[in-house]
Amino acid sequence: MKERLAVCPGSFDPVTLGHLDIMQRAAKLFDRVTVLVSINRDKVPCFSAEERIEMIKEVTADIPNISVDRLDGLLADYVRDNGACAIVKGLRAMTDFEYEFQMALINKKLCPDAETVFLVTKEDNMYLSSSMVREVASFGGDISGFVPERISERIVKRLLNKTKG
């Protein structure tokens, strides 16, 4: 049978425990998962694409069927060109839904062979977002419960430096 590849796209600026949970669960459902770090031309990220990729590689190093790649263009094109069968997204609350629903419909139109699969977030991660992590870290707050331990210090150091001065 053909290997089933799923993609997990996002900004991951930075990756949180919520993202990691979705990646781990996707890795159990599919043969292979590629986490796609988006390069958004309209949004200047806090962490460069290289930094975001490096952090995801670090926190997923123990999951053999996960790899990380950058997404420079349309998600639907990447999915088609790489033969992925699914786009996996995490859903936190109803507030996520409208935007995610719209993206899922557009992606279905652009790439009818792939399915968007929504995984409902763990209750503990309902409130988590990269922007909240950035905000807390920039004021020197404790983000240890929000991001993987391995990258926590790196994020704090980086964001504290950014807001100094």
**Cβ proximity to ligand PNS, 120 vs 160, nearer residue:** 120
DSSP 15-67: --HHHHHHHHHHHHHSSEEEEEEE--TTS--SS-HHHHHHHHHHHTTT-TTEE
52 catalytic, yes or no?
no
Number of residues this chain uses to bind ligand PNS (CB under 6 A): 11
92 catalytic, yes or no?
yes
Q: How far is CA 85 from CA 14, 31, 45, 111, in A?
A: 26, 11, 28, 10
Identity of the amino acid at 66: I
**Cβ proximity to ligand PNS, 22 vs 27, nearer residue:** 22
**What H or E segment, with its residue span, contains residue 69?**
strand 66-71
Minimum CB distance to ligand PNS, residue 86 (Å): 13
Instruction: For residue 140, give the DSSP letter.
Output: T
Minimum CB distance to ligand PNS, residue 1 (Å): 28
Minimum CB distance to ligand PNS, residue 72 (Å): 9
103 contacts ligand PNS (rule: CB under 6 A): yes
Which of residues 106, 117, 119, 132 is near ligand PNS by CB under 6 A?
106
Q: Which stretch binds ligand PNS (CB under 6 A): 6-14, 47-55, 57-65, 142-150?
A: 6-14
- Read off the tokens for 94: 């109803």
Catalytic positions, written as ranges: 19, 43, 92, 130
